[in-house]
Structures are given as C-alpha cells and as structure tokens.
Amino acid sequence: MARETVIHPSAVIEPGAELGEGVRIGPFCHVSSGARLHDDVELIGHVTIMGDTTLGEACQVYPQAVLGAPPQNFKHKGGKSTLDVGAQCVIREGVTFHAGTDTSRGRTTVGSHGLFMAYSHVAHDSDVGNHVTMANYAGLGGHAEIGDHVIISGYAAVHQFVRIGHHAFLGGFAAVVGDVIPYGMAVGDRARLRGLNLVGLKRSGMPREDIAALRRAYRTLFAEGASLEENAVAVRNAYPSSELIGDIVAFVSGRDKRHFTLPARGKGASEDDDTA
C-alpha cells in the first residue's frame, strides 16, 4: 500500500516537482519545479528547495534551511547545475547547500546519513561523503572534498579546493587552508595537525595494533629532515601490505591544487600530540 504524502495548505509546490511516497511538507515550504524528494522526506516548515535539487530517502529538513540556491561564484553564468543529497540526512535550522557552478563541476554532492547542524554551509561544487557531521556554523568553501565519517566542529571553516580525508576531525574554530590526511586531527587558526583522531578510531572499533601502526606511520610521514614526498615513499616501503597506511600515502601523492596541513614545529609542538 502506498504511503500517503501530506502537504500543508500553505506550502507551495511548483508544477514539475517530483514527490515520493510518504513525503511530509510542513507550513510555508517552497519546493521548486526541478526538485525531487524521495520517499519519506520531511520538510518540517519554512524550508526552501530551489533549482535542480534531489533529496534522498528519509531526509529530514528543519526550518529556514535553503537547499539548491545558485552558487556564490562570479564564474556562474546562470546555466543548469545541481545539488544531490543522499538518504537519511538530518539538516537542521538555517543550513545552506548551494548548487554547482555551470562553468565548473556543475554539481554539489552530499552523501547519506549526514548530520548538518544549525547554520552550517556546503558551498558550490563540493563533494561531501557519507556519515559526515558538520556542527553549528561550520562552513565549506567551493570545491571542497570531504571524506566519509569526517567531523567538522563548530565554526570551523574549510578553504576552497581543500580535501579532508575520511575519518578526520577538525576542531572548533579551525581555519583549514591545506589538505588534512585521513584519520588526521587539525585544530587552530591556519590549522595544524595535532596527530591522529584517536577518539574516532577507537570508537570505530579499529584494533589497537592498527592504531599503533598508524601512529608510527604518521611520525615517519611528517618527520623533519626530508620532504613529505620522500617520507611518503619511506612509509609505503615500511608498510607495503597495510591498506590503512596505503590509503594515507595515496592521499598525499600527486596533489597539485593545495598544500597540506602539517604538524606544528618547534617550541610548543609535541610528537605525542596524537595521544589527545
């Protein structure tokens, strides 16, 4: 039996919008003609869905969120671009996701099972993975790439074109202008690495021996006296059969868009920062 779709009388659903089964649209929502809401999506109230936007199954969107607005990018010429959001995302009050740029990637993608807290922002042409958490007021610049299971704390900002590797953690108010390796933990204005996201690794159930190997590889990768590229080769040679460590080595290889977020050096820096 088909599940009933419920639309509040004050909501505006433009002709051409596609609504799945069991969709619930609350008061004063506006859904554009190009939008597609999959089964069991809920727009609680005062939500705006613009342009060619797709929301995956069972997404829940809170008041004042605006999804699919044109990009904040002078290069955009007003042509077709899209926003695609995966299933079971929770999108809280005032969140904004912008569509892609028609002269560039042309689409913004957000994976499934994400939690986007109040007033967080995903900019044009970004690619956000699955199980990502963005806390209040966290923001991404255009073309950012965010891996699976990343946590971005409140007020943290990610520069355009920056990549954040999977299972990384960005601290509150972090200003991230360089790529962060998978499993890395970055904090501070012009953020620096403070080791690995050990709390996240332990919560994920990663075996202790794997965590210990990752810590050793981390120290080798960022050891002084050689370039990051040279250290990456040393890490690859030391752990040829480790898929986890190979993933980090692959991440730092062949990057030409941005530099990397590195550990702090000198006074105040500690090789044991990753015990936090």
Taking the domains of the chain in order of start, what are their residue ranges?
6-146, 202-253
Q: What SS3 class is residue 219? A: helix
Which residue is catalytic, options 40, 52, 125, 179? 125
CA neighbours within 13 Å on the CB side: how many for 169? 14
- List the chain pLDDT tens, one digit each, 276 residues: 678 999 999 999 999 999 999 999 999 999 999 999 999 999 999 999 999 999 999 999 999 999 999 999 999 999 999 999 999 999 999 999 999 999 999 999 999 999 999 999 999 999 999 999 999 999 999 999 999 999 999 999 999 999 999 999 999 999 999 999 999 999 999 999 999 999 999 999 999 999 999 999 999 999 999 999 999 999 999 999 999 999 999 999 877 667 999 998 754 344 444 433
- The strand pair at 192-196 and 184-187 is best described as antiparallel
Strands of the 151-152 sheet, one edge to the other: 6-7, 24-25, 42-43, 60-61, 90-91, 115-116, 133-134, 151-152, 169-170, 184-187, 192-196
| Superfamily of chain region 6-146 | Hexapeptide repeat proteins (2.160.10.10)
Which residue is catalytic, options 98, 124, 159, 166? 124
The answer to whether 142 is a known catalytic residue is yes
What pLDDT is recorded for position 271? 44
What pLDDT is recorded for position 257? 60
Which residue is catalytic, options 141, 142, 147, 195? 142
- Distance, in Å, from the CA atom of 268 to the CA atom of 263, rounded to the nearest integer, reads 11
The answer to whether 124 is a known catalytic residue is yes
Residue type, 196: L
**What is the dihedral sign for C-alpha 207, 211, 213, 217?**
positive
pTM of the model: 0.95
- Distance, in Å, from the CA atom of 73 to the CA atom of 79, rounded to the nearest integer, reads 13
What pLDDT is recorded for position 272? 46
What burial letters (b/e) apply to 144-172, b meaning 16+ CB within 10 Å? Answer: bbbbbbbbbbbbbbbbbbbbbbbbbbbbe
Query: What is the C-alpha R_g of the chain?
Result: 20
What pLDDT is recorded for position 3? 87
The answer to whether 131 is a known catalytic residue is no
